[in-house]
Amino acid sequence: QVQLVESGGGLVQPGGSPRLSCVVSTSIFSFNTIGWYRQTPGKQRELVASITTGGSVGYADSVKGRFTVSKDNAKRTVYLQMTSLKPEDTAVYYCNRLRTFASWGQGTQVTVSA
């Protein structure tokens, strides 16, 4: 029933480097590109990174060079390694397949503040 479960967020200082995790259901993980999205009140949801079933990755300009998306096939888990965090990275981070979304998980809050 639950298809996407995010974790790993929290309060982090600027420049910090948390790693977010997304445990994905078998059906989605096996056949879909998975994206990391972030949502801030008053702003549209932003796709920040993605990884295909074959391991190809993509990044938004806003995070390129700072975030790294990867996956562990055995664990059906997609990761987002975040480095050099800025206050503007503060958001709720979600994972989902691209475009044809499954039900959204709860997300994980990342707050960047000194």
Q: What is the pLDDT of residues 72-91, one digit of tens each?
A: 999 999 999 999 999 999 99
Q: What is the pLDDT of residues 16-64, one digit of tens each?
A: 999 999 999 999 999 999 999 999 999 999 999 999 999 999 999 999 9
List Cα–Cα distances, 7 to 20, 42, 72, 77, 83, in angstroms.
6, 23, 15, 11, 16
Q: How many CB atoms lie within 10 A of CB 59?
A: 17
